[in-house]
Amino acid sequence: MVVTTDVLDDPENHISTYRDFGELYGQNISWLTAFIHKKISNYSEAEDIAQDVFERLIRKKYHQHTHEPIVFQGNLRAFISTIAKGIIIDSWRKKELERKYLEYVADLQHQDAVDCCDDISEVVDAIFTLDQMLRALDDDIRHTFILSNLYGKTYAEIAQQLGINERKVKAYMAKAMLHCMKMRTRLDLDQLD
Amino acid sequence: MPSPINDEILEQAAHWYVTLQDEQCTDEERQKWQKWLSEHTDHEKAWKIVEQIHGEFSSLHQLAQHDHEKDAITQSLMTEHKINRRDLFGIVGILFLGGAIGFQQRETIYIGYLRTRGSEYTSLGVQQHLTSPSGFEYWLNTQTIIRQSSDFAIELLLGEIFIKANAPLRQALHISSHQVNLSSEQAQFGIRQQGNHVILAVLYGTVKLLNQSGQHIVLKAGQQIRATAHTLGAVQTLQTYQYSWIKGILAADNMPLQQWADEMQRYHDQKIKISADASQYRVVGLFPVNDLPQALAMLSNVLPVRSQTSGWNGILIDTVQP
């Protein structure tokens, strides 16, 4: 049961309390699915995204060790739909990455993209993850990191290819790794255990 | 919950990573790195993160073995996308909230959405039967979310799961919930999350349960227990309804009518209410969980009750006046 305390009619002061995650889920899943479905035409994809939202919400609360009851202050619907938006954007971005990747492969191979790759979902997943981690880095730093990790090039080779000195390559490598590590530790999603 | 590793240690780890990646790395440096690694558990934790990040590339390395594929990946990662994130937020912002997303929220979204892999879910009134390549079967009950972090580890985030491992597994299967951790090598058992507790019901084999406070118990076939993060209830005899749902059935054995309604409610949108008079009854019988009209008709056959629609989207079960 939701107890909503309405103070001065300001949505920021709403407090929603749920007995457990089951209740939170049960009372919010249908409007959220409908809401997402309005924005993206595919219903089963809308269902997937709605589930994803709750998975994140529960994991987040879980890792904060927030046990019963579950309390939200502020506009819960706005909060939940904001998370949904993030996921919708990511799903778009993933599609965009997939399209781009197929284009590039086709270009480089001079043949039809559809013929060449039967299952690229794993590759696209991996590109997406790396893209999230590396996107904020400057081009040269990102490129350095990719050349080293994906092609296994030595620092000397990278320095030559990018026209910079080795000292700089090392500095870029450290910067890129540190950035990725910070992204990871803040994430809390992939726990180290 | 792992405590955050401080930035200085992350910097040291990044430095060692750069050193070790260098083909000119000397034995002396490797020994220094080993020493650093063993100095503090946080050093080890930080190094694990380095390995994970390196691992993201390694998996891609295996997937894309041809140079043209690597080149395509590089191009994908190096190209600015036509729709950049700010534009996307613009579009979506207008669509959703009229553009009212603060900078802070943007950052949260940006960082928070590396997609989690390996999760499964079920919607209202849906049971799903799945088979794991690791040698066990599992069922998800209505409104359940799980995350499978590895072949032998499942995190139950919401709802109820039933595991069937009739033959010994290669290694123990671990199920974790907010409150407890379970492990078993060969068993049929169900775990259900309800409020701040879980109910573990074992049909076959044995299951170890450990709660957050470190209390533990080994449950055998025919037993069930209720546990919270900090308490263990008494071991009880297994009740059939704890696992009959995998066949789509609610097995009521002298079950109070209110509990029957609560159980059926899990699968249905309509609000099921019991009148005060009717709540004195107890129910015996097998009811289809996904067919409410049928279940209600069956209920009227075994008890002097009838159901009627009540209000908007509700059903009231009341006694039949003699």
Contact by Cβ (8 Å): B222, B238: yes
Residue A43 has pLDDT above 70, yes or no: yes
Q: For residues B58 and B61, give the distance between their C-alpha atoms in angstroms, rounded to a whole number.
A: 5
Q: How far is CA B151 from CA A30, B32, B102, B117, in A?
A: 31, 35, 40, 13
Set of chain B residues whose Cβ sits within 8 Å of the Cβ of A155 = 21-23
The alpha carbon torsion through B106, A84, A27, A79 (nearest 10 deg) reads 10
Contact assignment for A126 to B63 by CB distance below 8 Å: yes
Residue A162: predicted pLDDT: 93
User: What was the ipTM of the complex prediction?
Assistant: 0.72
The rounded radius of gyration (Å) of the Cα atoms in chain A is 22
Contact A29 B79 (CB under 8 A): no
Average pLDDT over residues B75-103: 49
Nearest to B88 by CA among B101, B74, B75, B73: B101
Of A93, A108, A181, the CB nearest to B10: A181
pLDDT band at A64 (very low <50, low <70, confident <90, very high): low
User: What is the b/e burial string over A12-45, where b = at least 16 CB atoms within 10 angstroms of the residue's CB?
Assistant: eebebbbebbbbbbbebbeebbebbbeeeeeeee
Q: Are A71 and A16 spatial neighbours (Cβ–Cβ below 8 Å)? A: yes
B159 φ/ψ angles, rounded to the nearest 5 degrees: 90, -135
Q: Is the pLDDT of residue B38 over 50?
A: yes
**Separation of CA B213 from chain center:** 21
- Do residue A173 and residue B159 have CB atoms under 8 angstroms apart? no
- Cβ(B141)–Cβ(B160) below 8 Å: yes
pLDDT at A111 over 70: no
- The answer to whether the CB atoms of A21 and B69 lie below 8 A apart is no
- Within 13 A of A96's CA, how many CA atoms are on the CB side? 16
Give the contacts of A156 (CB within 8 A, at least 6 positions apart). Answer: A166
Give helix A166-187 / helix B7-21 axis angle, nearest 10°. Answer: 130
DSSP line for A62-124: HHTT--SSEEEES-HHHHHHHHHHHHHHHHHHHHHHHHHHHHHHHHHHTS-HHHH-S--HHHH
Per CB-CB distance under 8 Å, the chain A contacts of B77 are 127, 130-131, 134, 142, 146
> Worst-scoring range by mean pLDDT, A53-62, B133-142, B268-277, B280-289?
A53-62
Confidence of residue B47 (pLDDT cuts 50, 70, 90): very high
d(CA B124, CA A30): 10
- Is B9's Cβ below 8 Å from some Cβ in A? no
Residue A175 has pLDDT above 90, yes or no: yes
pTM: 0.66
Any residues with CB less than 8 A from the CB of B116 and at least 6 apart, and which? A52, A55, A56, A59, A189, A190, B147
Chain A residues near residue B105 by CB distance under 8 angstroms: 82
Q: Which two tokens stand for residue B146?
A: 């799980």
**Amino acid at position B309, single letter:** T
| Distance from C-alpha of B272 to C-alpha of B265, rounded to nearest angstrom | 6
Does the beta carbon of B94 lie under 8 angstroms from any beta carbon of chain A? no
Angle among Cα B183, B262, B264 to the nearest 5 degrees reads 90
B88, β-bridge pairs: none
The pLDDT of A102-123, averaged and rounded, is: 66
Q: Of A40, A67, A80, which to mutate for an interface test with B (greatest number of B Cβ within 10 Å)?
A: A67
